[in-house]
Amino acid sequence: MEHIWAPWRIEYIEMEKPAGCILCDKPGESRDAENYILYRGSENFVILNSYPYNPGHLLVAPYRHVASLDALTDSELSEHSVIVRRSVGLLREVFSPQGFNVGLNLGKAAGAGIDEHLHTHIVPRWQGDTNFMTVVSGVRVVPQALAETYRKLAGRF
């Protein structure tokens, strides 16, 4: 079996998780810039991943606390898909990635860090974005601060 190391995620894994659900709580706080919420639709929103794999790593989530695709209404699912498409287009325009990973981790066994609130990951990718630091020392370098990523994307949806 081959292992893929992601030691930069250990901060998230080991941290004490706050009570409640951040995907429910953050949109209710009315502090979008501080919480890195980039867009609010009528039934879904876009937020930067606080522990990104790459700059521009976005999450699209419904406001409603649901864990599965079949729990979404047709309206929620439709808007969710449209926002994912818009997000990919915006990231392509702003960051010029060469590819994307787009997907859902449904359930803990599938790798979901927040398994009780469905969300879609959108991760921009560049050729060679796993650089020598990852290979040589097991360290991932994310070359852009969240605040700078937010500044580049805010108001563009």
For the annotated catalytic residues, the residue numbers are: 119
Residue spans of beta strands (DSSP E) within the chain: 37-40, 44-48, 58-62, 99-104, 120-125
CA 136 to each of CA 3, 54, 121: distance values in angstroms, whole numbers, following the listed order: 15, 18, 27
Q: Tokens standing for 103?
A: 């997907």
SS3 129: coil
As a whole number of angstroms, the distance between CA 50 and CA 58 comes to 9
Q: Who's near 57: CB < 8 A, 6+ residues apart?
A: 48, 49, 121, 122, 123, 124
